[in-house]
């Protein structure tokens, strides 16, 4: 008898193609919206996560930071001095190396008549080892370059395009903040993330940056640290202890610096990603809900007709369960078909968005979104 009911349901759907189509369309749009949006958001955050993974598990960043304490309100926090770094290297056994970075945003650069702005980092030769981020062409600057404050720079691959430099870029002169620099290397390309060019920066020696921008710019300095990856937590508390001693903080004083690790960034990203997914999913959920209302409306409009249909079927001998089963099967077919198409379209939109926008991360389709979409 189930086979008969299945056939009756199929026939009823086929006989009312437009109604079936509209109903399915509602499901399709809702499910596709949920899956596309969630996939895109997830893909985005997976890509961002990957970016930070490159930094390696032994990576710690130290920044000077005013404690969140009313007593510190308005007080100038000590920058990260060279002596702190030396002290840290000497006394923190789990710290392998430190690369100070003096960071500037929106620095004017020029090549011939072409003018642009970029991010500038003054740092030291071991920066590459500390951050596992290496030069691709030419060379990074040396300790000597740093000591004698040579006006040499290693550029991100994006600068070539930005300043319309002719290849090879190495050996060419560019102006940075009014001074002439020689390009000695090009860093490995990292590509783009949601329209953010990850290759848009210039490295110059730390000493050169200090000379160029002034001693007081030490307030713009943070440290990249390579520590023991197997004992990162211990390394972190060691860094904190040694830093406190170096900076002569009393036992009751709060830290006037802060530590970042990849794990922290990952977890922060995870939280943001969670919120973003919830919000985006929520919006898509509204779409699904609206789609659902649309379906309800179509169903309601169909009710008059269907009431008649039920009457006719009952008159010719359909039992209550025949009718119930028929409607249940109809709804199931519509949902499964609509859900299936919706998932396909959602995944399609996710991938399409990923491929149309250059360097956009691949959409990541979470299974839970598929299941959630389906169950609606």
Partner 1 sequence: MNNEALISVKDLKKLYEMGEEKVHALDGVSIDIERGEYVAIMGASGSGKSTLMNLIGCLDSPSSGSYVLNKREVSKMDDNELAAIRNKEIGFVFQTFNLLSRTSALGNVELPLIYSGVPRSERLARAREALKSVGLADRMHHRPNELSGGQRQRVAVARALVNEPSLLLADEPTGNLDSRTTAEIMDLFDKLNESGNTLIVVTHEDEIARHARRIIHLKDGKVISDEPVRQTVPS
Chain residues in the site for partner 1 (CB under 8 A): 1, 4, 7-8, 11, 15-16, 305, 308-309, 311-322
CB nearer to partner 1: pick between 22 and 186: 22
| Least distance CB 320 / partner 1 (angstroms) | 6
CB nearer to partner 1: pick between 240 and 322: 322
CB nearer to partner 1: pick between 198 and 302: 302
| Least distance CB 337 / partner 1 (angstroms) | 19
- Return d(Cα 324, Cα 330) in angstroms, integer: 10
| Least distance CB 328 / partner 1 (angstroms) | 17
HEC profile for the chain?
CHHHHHHHHHHHHHHCHHHHHHHHHHHHHHHHHHHHHHHHHHHHHHHHHHHHHCCCCCEEEEEECCCCCHHHCCCCCCCCCHHHHHHHHHHCCCEEEEEEEEEEEEEEEEECCEEEEEEEEEECCCHHHHHCCCEEEECCCCHHHHHCCCCEEEECHHHHHHCCCCCCCCCCEEEECCEEEEEEEEECCCCEECCEECCCEEEEEHHHHHHHHCHHHHHHEEEEEEECHHHHHHHHHHHHHHHHHHCCCCCCCCCCEEEEEHHHHHHHHHHHHHHHHHHHHHHHHHHHHHHHHHHHHHHHHHHHHHHHHHHHHHHCCCCHHHHHHHHHHHHHHHHHHHHHHHHHHHHHHHHHHHHHCCCCCCCCCCHHHHHHHHHC
CB nearer to partner 1: pick between 106 and 317: 317
CB nearer to partner 1: pick between 27 and 325: 325
| Least distance CB 294 / partner 1 (angstroms) | 22
| Least distance CB 307 / partner 1 (angstroms) | 12
CB nearer to partner 1: pick between 232 and 302: 302
| Least distance CB 335 / partner 1 (angstroms) | 22
| Least distance CB 303 / partner 1 (angstroms) | 15
CB nearer to partner 1: pick between 226 and 318: 318
- Sign of dihedral through CA atoms 330, 332, 338, 344? negative
- Return d(Cα 184, Cα 136) in angstroms, integer: 11
| Least distance CB 317 / partner 1 (angstroms) | 2
| Least distance CB 12 / partner 1 (angstroms) | 8
CB nearer to partner 1: pick between 131 and 326: 326
CB nearer to partner 1: pick between 12 and 37: 12
Distance (Å) of CA 112 to CA 75, 151, 166, 184: 44, 17, 12, 18
171-209 burial by CB neighbour count: b if 16+ within 10 A, else e? Answer: ebebebeeeebebbbbbeebebbeeebebbbbbbbbbbb
CB nearer to partner 1: pick between 53 and 308: 308
| Least distance CB 198 / partner 1 (angstroms) | 59
């Amino acid at each position: 008898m189930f086979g008969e009911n299945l056939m009756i349901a199929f026939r009823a759907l086929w006989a009312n193609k437009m109604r079936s189509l509209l109903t399915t369309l509602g499901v399709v749009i809702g499910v596709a919206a949920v899956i596309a949006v969630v996939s895109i958001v997830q893909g985005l955050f997976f890509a961002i996560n990957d970016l930070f993974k490159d930094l390696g598990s032994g990576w710690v960043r130290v920044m000077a930071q005013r404690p969140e304490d009313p007593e510190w309100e308005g007080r100038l926090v000590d920058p990260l001095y060279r002596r702190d770094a030396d002290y840290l290297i000497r006394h923190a056994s789990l710290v392998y190396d430190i690369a100070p970075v003096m960071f500037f945003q929106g620095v004017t650069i020029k090549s011939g008549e072409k003018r642009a702005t970029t991010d500038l980092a003054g740092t030291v030769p071991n920066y590459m080892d500390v951050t596992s981020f290496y030069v691709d062409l030419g060379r990074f600057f040396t300790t000597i370059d740093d000591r004698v404050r040579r006006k040499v720079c290693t550029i991100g691959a994006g600068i070539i395009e930005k300043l319309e430099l002719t290849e090879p870029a190495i050996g060419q002169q560019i102006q940075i903040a009014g001074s002439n620099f020689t390009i000695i290397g090009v860093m490995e390309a990292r590509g783009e993330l949601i329209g953010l060019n990850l290759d848009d920066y210039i490295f110059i020696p730390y000493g050169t940056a200090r000379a160029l921008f002034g001693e007081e710019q030490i307030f713009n300095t943070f440290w990249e640290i390579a520590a023991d990856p197997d004992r990162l937590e211990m390394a972190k508390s060691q860094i904190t202890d040694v830093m406190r001693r170096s900076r002569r903080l009393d036992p009751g004083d709060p830290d006037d610096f802060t530590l970042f690790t990849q794990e922290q960034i990952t977890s922060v990203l995870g939280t943001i990603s969670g919120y973003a997914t919830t919000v985006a999913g929520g919006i898509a959920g509204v779409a699904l809900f609206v789609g659902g209302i649309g379906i309800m409306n179509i169903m309601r409009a169909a009710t008059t007709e269907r009431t008649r249909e039920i009457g006719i079927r009952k008159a010719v001998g359909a039992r209550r369960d025949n009718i119930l089963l028929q409607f249940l099967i109809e709804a199931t077919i519509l949902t499964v078909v609509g859900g299936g198409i919706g998932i396909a379209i959602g995944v399609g939109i996710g991938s399409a968005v990923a491929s149309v926008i250059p360097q956009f991360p691949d959409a990541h389709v979470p299974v839970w979104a598929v299941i959630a979409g389906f169950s609606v």
